[in-house]
Structure 1
Amino acid sequence: MFQITRNIWQGRFASRQRLSELQRTGITHILNVGEATNQLSESDGPFTMVQSYPFEDLVRIPTEQAIVCLNILHEMVTATDSNVYVHCIAGWNRSPTIVWLYLIACGIDPREAKTRIESVSYDAVPAHSKLVDKELTDAVIKYGHRYFLPHLRPEAILPVTLG
């Protein structure tokens, strides 16, 4: 598990073997963007919300699907006192890319968002070139500026070391 912002973590599959780590970290919401079926449910945490919105790995994410997923993530991040864990199978491509898309939708510079993720999640490839392109990036930024800003919980997207 890698803490990307004050209230967003990213990493590998949220399996039963990771349950105690998720609980110890205070995770309240889990978003699975991998294709494997969730092993955990709300009652396991107890978690407030466990959602699955799978994407195929190494295939460009359709814009409409990205927007739906980002809306789910935004709902989780803006919930009072939430700590959100976004995962796929390995935590290398899909989950860091969705977190990256969310951060840029929230007005964070794409290079800064990428650096934030890569600086703590060394194997992560946020903004993977097979998952995103300029058209998707532009659409996400435009959508985020319209619907996510001003952010309802700006402290949740701050870097871990600030504020």
Structure 2
Amino acid sequence: MSDRPSDVSVADGFGDVAWVPMSDSRRLLPATALQALNALHELAAAPDAHVYVHCMVGRLRSPTILWLYLIALGLDPHTARDLIESRAPHATAGHYQMVSNEHVRLAQKHGLAHFLPHPRSDLVVPFPLAEEE
């Protein structure tokens, strides 16, 4: 999720890598949002898959795409945001610079039509938060 190809590759031990070009300094085009959601869904729907979503800094693009995907799977936007931001405090899921309510409705409609029922009911299993020392 960046404006240049990923530094992550299959050679790094990843089974598959999908790159969706996007900027964090302007509104996400609906077609780009759908491309990212579909790529994420294809990876996440594979049996036993563990999906790593990243961008250059991890503050806007990847949290926003993950947020939209969780919404597409039926999570409430606030719940999805809390899930992401509680585990990545510097992330801003659904940043106003990138998305609007139109993107939320697009994710909900697209997810209902194409992602549900999800082939992996165990997909969203949040890892436990590290205990503070």
TM-score by length of 1: 0.75
1:100 alignment counterpart: 67
1:58-73 equivalences under 5 Å are 58-73=25-40
Question: Could you tell me whether the CA contact under 8 Å between 1:77 and 1:83 is conserved in 2?
Answer: yes
What is the Cα deviation at residue 141 of structure 1?
A: 0.6
User: Residue 77 of structure 1 corresponds to which residue in structure 2?
Assistant: 44
SS of the residue 2:52 aligns to:
strand
Runs of 4+ in 1 over 6 A off after TM superposition: none
C-alpha separation in 2, matches of 1:129 and 1:44: 33
Partner of 1:151: 118
Query: 1-side partners of 2:62 and 2:8: how far apart?
Result: 17
In the TM superposition, what is the alpha-carbon distance from 1:84 to its structure 2 partner? 0.6
How many angstroms apart in 2 are the aligned matches of 1:40 and 1:112? Answer: 29
Q: Is the 8 A contact 1:107 1:141 kept in 2?
A: yes
Q: In 1, distance between residues paired with 2:21 and 2:121? A: 27
* Runs of 5+ unmatched residues, structure 1: 1-32
Q: Percent identity at matched positions? A: 41
Counterpart residue number, 2:5: 37
**Alignment TM-score, normalising by the size of structure 2:** 0.91
Name the structure where strand makes up a greater proportion of residues.
1
- Partners in 2 of 1:40 and 1:140 — Cα distance? 26
Instruction: Give the counterpart letter for 2:27 in structure 1.
Output: R
Would the aligned equivalents of 1:36 and 1:89 in 2 still touch at CA under 8 Å?
Answer: no
- Give aligned pairs, total: 128
- Amino acid of the structure 1 residue aligned with 2:8: L
Please name the residue that 1:125 is paired with.
92
Contact 1:93 1:125 in 2 (8 A): yes
Q: Greater RCO between the two (CA within 8 Å, min separation 6)?
A: 1
Q: Is residue 139 from structure 1 mapped to residue 106 from structure 2 by the alignment?
A: yes
- For residues 12 and 126 of structure 2, the distance between their equivalents in structure 1, rounded to whole angstroms, comes to 28
Q: Which amino acid aligns with 2:121?
A: P
Amino acid of the residue matched to residue 126 of structure 1?
A
Q: Cα offset for 1:37?
A: 2.5
> Contact conserved, 1:35 with 1:88, CA < 8 A, in 2?
no
